[in-house]
Amino acid sequence: MEEGLIPNVSVDCVVFGFDFTTLNVLLIERNFTVDGVVYDDLKLPGDLMRLDEDLDTAAGRILKENTGLSNIYLNQFKSFGSPDRLKKKPRDMKWLLQIDHPEEHVITIAYYSLIDISAQHNSDLIISDNARWCPVHEVTDLVMDHMDIVQCALEHLRIELLNKPIGFELLPDKFTLSQMQKLYEVILETTFDKRNFRKKISSMKYLIPLNEKQVGVAHKPARLYIFSREVYTKTKKDNFDFSV
């Protein structure tokens, strides 16, 4: 095993990307051959921690090494440590036997990330050859317990979206209210009546309309908005409405 690694602790990252239509998750190919059999699976970006780094640093490094992405929103949401989490599927056992650190029990600290992937021309979004975006609702099988980790990340994302203005991490700097509505619908797996949605967001003082409209669209161009973190910080109040 490479020196300086902690054998029993890893970090895994669930990177969500929104393209105005679908919520996607970034997955890495895990390909190997044993006894002539080719194993071809998908996994989350993840790896063992190093002795000299803290959790957030490890998450950033591992995401960069696995996917090429850097400087994106990262949020630690849960740790997973079932003793059989690596050994649930025969093909994971095959994989464990042929790597150089076949630990029996690895606790993983899971993070989720949010990025806007609507700007296909954005060079910051170039990802490694073995990484690919997959629509979340089409992902049904991943290595080890990575499906559980994705499901748990989705639940945290939904709760966060209803409690903090994190949805804007998934939108470009300037966006339309229809794009914002689509984002909320996709993550919350629901649909909103347009008027109802506008009413719900009317109290968001940090959602600032611009004197600017979309360009180059086939339909009637819509007004663009920005999210103001400054206004959010200044106007946010503690939520003392206990109607939970």
3-state secondary structure of 99: coil
Q: Does 102 bind its own copies (CB under 8 A)?
A: no
Cα angle 177-182-184, degrees, rounded to a multiple of 5: 95
Q: Does 171 bind its own copies (CB under 8 A)?
A: no
Out of 1, 34, 99, 188, the residue judged to bind its own copies by CB under 8 A: 188
d(C-alpha 22, C-alpha 43), whole Å: 20
The window from 15-23, 160-168, 208-216, 218-226 that contacts its own copies (CB under 8 A) reads: 160-168
Q: Does 201 bind its own copies (CB under 8 A)?
A: yes
CA separation, residue 155 to residues 148, 152, 220, 239 (Å)? 11, 5, 35, 21
3-state secondary structure of 181: helix
d(C-alpha 125, C-alpha 29), whole Å: 18
Name residues contacting its own copies, limited to 54-73 (CB under 8 A): 54-55, 58
Which residue number, 38 or 244, has a Cβ lying nearer to its own copies? Answer: 244
Closest CA to 7 of 142, 78, 108: 108
Show the binding pattern over residues 211-230: x = contacts its own copies (CB under 8 A), - = does not. --------------------
Q: Does 134 bind its own copies (CB under 8 A)?
A: no
Residues that bind its own copies (CB under 8 A): 6-9, 49, 51-55, 58, 76, 78-83, 104-105, 107, 109, 159, 162-165, 184, 188, 200-201, 203-204, 236, 238-244
